[in-house]
Chain A
Amino acid sequence: MLQKLRENRSSQGTLLALPTTFWMVALLVLPLLLTTVISFGKRSPDGEVIYTFTLNNYIRLAGFDPNCPPADGTCFNPLYLQILGRSLSLAFNTTVLVILMAYPLAYFIARSHPRKRNTYLFLVLIPLWTNFVIRVYAWMMLLRKEGVINNLLGLLAGWIGYDFKPLEMLYTQGAVLVGMVYEFLPFMILPIFTSLEKIDNSLYEAAADLGANPIRTFRRVTLPLSLPGVVAGTILVFIPVMGTFIVSDILGGRQVILVGNLIQRQFLDARDPTFGSAASLILMIMTLVVTYFYTRKFGFGEEIVAA
């Protein structure tokens, strides 16, 4: 038996892939199928799932009341569409901001002295040692009406004799955006750093030698060669931002509801797993579609990574 295994390479491969395959089937494929089935089900009055086939949950998501006569336009309520749109635009804005902030820092770290590089990377990772939720709460302390920022501004205003009214920063879209950017910044810095670090110094020299000034060198050589890192970082940031509910829950309160919060509330507060499942699937499909078009445009950067 062992002898046979030693000779047969393909069964070796199967054996190696077996644990992961089992894991993925049990904890990803099956639950996903279950979610799909439930999303077509109905909720019983006491919150149980009735397995049947109805599109009611999806119709509700699209903003229509299934109990309303179709000709009557007054039943249309775009609440859920707004939530989806808000999630999408927030994820987009977060990703763009994170790229703009992460790229210069990653560039600085990649071009710094190798001995200092590890220190810088260590500093980037330090926040991750604290729990995600705690870090979001920390932002609450900063942004609150009686928070650190308002207090400091008040103090400053007191000095110059300006009548200061505390800013309403918490429970706004801006607060959620700031929290998201802060939480996901390291996940953009690291892949961009990795791809920048791989660029051989002689390529910068070759570009300069061929007459490219620093700006053109950046545009023609540095940026395209580091794009795989930006793509990887975007995937690492955009997808979780689309789905997360903690940041918006804590920093957005009832004001900023995202798909993540919607799903969470359907499963917990509203006890409607069928609607929650439908929202989950729509979220997943939206994320996949965006990622698909994005990677089709920019690739996964595998071509360059392979070099």
Chain B
Amino acid sequence: MPAEFAVELRDVVKQFVTPEGANLAAVDHVTMQIRNGEFFSMLGSSGCGKTTSLRMIAGFEWPDEGEVIIEGKPMGHTPPYQRNVNMVFQNYALFQHMTVFENVAFGLEMQRAGRKEIITRVGRSLDMVQLKGLDRRRPRQLSGGQQQRVALARALVNLPAVLLLDEPLGALDLKLRKEMQLELKALQQQLGITFIYVTHDQEEALTMSDRIAVMSLGKVRQMGTPQEIYERPSSRFVAEFIGESNFIDGRMVQISKEAAQVHVPALNMELSATPISGDLVAGEDVIVSIRPEKVQITNSINEMPNHMEGTVEKTVYIGSDTHLIIHTGSQNLKVWEQNRVSRIDPHAFYSSGQKIQLVILPENALIMKRE
């Protein structure tokens, strides 16, 4: 019976000694359960512990505390070459003294596969990453994107239970990166292999992942689907790290299970909003987080909840969207409007000083604990 999870980290701690001699927990009591066949991302800025976590799964590092479990088996001090996982390295780590074919064949040779099997499987996996016909080249004779594909083929040819990817697209240019994102996702779905993907690029994580763990300072801050992470960030940190948000201080007036009223002095009003954490109480100081694209600009002045009037301070045209700064009460709000109609005539849009009406749906105003 296959294990329930492809990889589990149980309360894992990894400490490093800083050059000053202090102990630093790169990974600080991290627990994660990564399901079979899942595209799982660890997202965070450098030093958040994501790469160290990945390296502990690969076996390059061993946890000081806690346990790494792969396919139900506790790994303990199992060396990398005895783990059923493969890694795509950030710098690709291709063997320069071998051809593309030899690079991809390496893992199969280590498993002592037969010559015939090696030729078929290497061929198939080079096809898969669209490198047909380049098998006799040396890695150095390939472009960055092609080298990336060799690294991918070299790992996937072994059909590991889990594929670990350490910022594999970091060195590619934006366009190629977007292409590869879709390709990686398609490949993962086609093969059904569990992917664990480490990145600092939030868009990359949102595009590809089934689930994301947002990490900071060695801890998991939030784990969930891209929608959960973006639409229901559990803390100001997550809301700030993924996408942008307006943060407004307020005080809880009244709270029930789904709805709550928050008094917001800066807007001089009471907002109907959605509580994120369950343990908020009336009278508590809180923050309200509102995504800029969720603020609606309306023409009708009617009795909708969370309706307010504001003055346009500044507009920035960025092609697909227009970013506005709107002054309301004593607060500046970031508001993003999609350019659904042509903005070729600048006067057709908002101009500074113009009065406009804003509406924020209660489900888009999120109440968080003040940190």
Interface residues of A (CB under 8 A from B): 200, 202-203, 205-213, 216, 220-221, 224-225, 303-304, 306-307
Interface residues as binary, B142-158 with A (CB distance below 8 Å gives 1, 0 otherwise): 00000000000011001
Q: Looking at the assembled complex, report how far the CB atom of B106 sits from the nearest CB atom of chain A, in whole angstroms.
A: 5
Chain B residue nearest to A224 (CB atoms) is: B97
| With A200-B91, A205-B89, A216-B110: A210-B154 Cβ-Cβ less than 8 Å | yes
Instruction: Indicate if B268 sits at the interface (CB-CB under 8 A).
Output: no
Distance, CA A200 to CA B155, complexed state (A)? 18
**Contacting pair B58 A206 (CB below 8 A):** no
Q: A211 is contacted by which of B81, B95, B97 (Cβ under 8 Å)?
A: B81
A221's partner among B60, B85, B91, B95 (CB-CB below 8 A) is B95
B79 touches A (CB below 8 Å): yes
Whether B93 contacts A213 by the Cβ 8 Å rule is: no
Contact of A207 (CB < 8 Å), options: B91, B96, B106, B158: B106
Given contact pairs A202-B91, A216-B110, A209 touches B96 in the complex (Cβ within 8 A):
no
Query: Considering residues B59, B110, B158, which has the most beta carbons from chain A within 10 angstroms of its beta carbon?
Result: B110
Q: How far is the CB of A80 from chain B (nearest CB, A)?
A: 43
CA–CA, A202 to B51, complex, Å?
Answer: 13
- Asked if B242 CB lies within 8 Å of chain A CBs, one says no
Q: Find out whether the CB atom of B95 lies under 8 angstroms from the CB atom of A208.
A: no
Q: Smallest distance from the beta carbon of B109 to chain A beta carbons, Å?
A: 8
Q: Are B81 and A206 in contact (CB under 8 A)?
A: no
Bound state CA distance, A209 and B87, in angstroms? 7
Q: How long is the Cα–Cα vector from A221 to B95 in the complex, in angstroms?
A: 7
Most A C-beta atoms less than 10 A away, residue of B79, B89, B106:
B106
Residue from B79, B91, B111, B155 within 8 A of A208 (CB atoms):
B79
Contacts of B110 in A (CB 8 A): 210-212, 216
Of the residues B81, B90, B94, B111, contact of A209 by C-beta under 8 Å: B81
Contact present for A210 and B96 (CB under 8 Å): no
Check B86 for interface membership: any CB of A closer than 8 A: yes
- Determine whether B329 belongs to the interface, using a CB cutoff of 8 Å to chain A: no
Shortest C-beta distance, B108 to chain A (Å), equals 9
Interface residues in B94-134 by Cβ distance below 8 A to A read: 94-97, 106-107, 110-111
In angstroms, how far is the closest chain B Cβ from the Cβ of A304? Answer: 6
A211-B111 CB under 8 A given contacts A205-B60, A220-B106, A307-B140 = yes
Q: Give every chain A residue within 8 A of B91 (Cβ-Cβ).
A: 200, 202
Give the CA-CA distance A212 to B79 in the complex, in Å. Answer: 10
- Tell me, rounded to whole Å, the shortest Cβ–Cβ distance linking B142 to chain A: 12
Interface size on B, residues (CB 8 A): 26
What A residues does B158 contact at CB under 8 A? 210-211
Q: How distant is A262 from chain B, measured CB to nearest CB, in Å?
A: 41
A130 to chain B: closest CB distance in Å?
37
Q: List, in ascending order, chain B residues with CB within 8 A of A224's CB.
A: 97
> B80 near A: Cβ within 8 Å?
yes
Q: Which residues of A contact B86 (CB under 8 A)?
A: 209-210
**A43-B81 Cα distance, complex, nearest whole Å:** 70
Within the complex, the shortest CB–CB distance from A230 to chain B, in Å, comes to: 13
- CA separation between A206 and B106, bound complex, in Å? 10
A307's closest neighbor in chain B, by CB? B96
A303 to B138, CA, bound (A): 10
Residues on A with C-beta less than 8 A from B93 are 200, 202-203, 205-206
Min Cβ gap A60→B in Å is 47
Chain A residues in 8 Å Cβ range of B59: 208-209
What residue in chain A is nearest B154 (Cβ atoms)?
A210
B155 nearest CB across to chain A (Å) = 8
Give A224 to B60 CA distance when docked, in angstroms.
23
B111 adjacent to A206 (CB under 8 Å): no
CA distance A202 to B154 in the complex (A): 14
B-side contacts of A221, CB under 8 Å: 95
Report the minimal beta-carbon distance from B337 to chain A, rounded to whole angstroms. Answer: 46
Top 4 A-B pairs ranked by shortest CB distance? A211-B110, A210-B107, A202-B93, A206-B93
How far, in angstroms, from A39 to B268 measured CA to CA in the complex?
Answer: 107
Cα distance A299–B1 in the bound complex, in angstroms = 53
Residues of B contacting A211 in the complex (Cβ-Cβ under 8 angstroms): 81, 107, 110-111, 158
How close is A113's CB to chain B, nearest CB, in angstroms? 12
Q: Which residues of B contact A200 (CB under 8 A)?
A: 91, 93
Report B-chain residues with C-beta under 8 Å of the C-beta of A225.
Answer: 95-97
Does A212 contact B97, Cβ atoms closer than 8 Å? no
User: Could you pull out 9 A-B pairs where Cβ atoms are within 8 angstroms?
Assistant: A206-B87, A206-B93, A207-B95, A208-B80, A210-B81, A210-B110, A211-B110, A213-B79, A303-B138
A209 touches B80 (CB 8 A): yes
Q: Is the CB of A203 within 8 A of B140?
A: no
- A75–B142 CA distance with the chains assembled, in angstroms: 65
Residues of B within 8 A of A306 (CB): 140
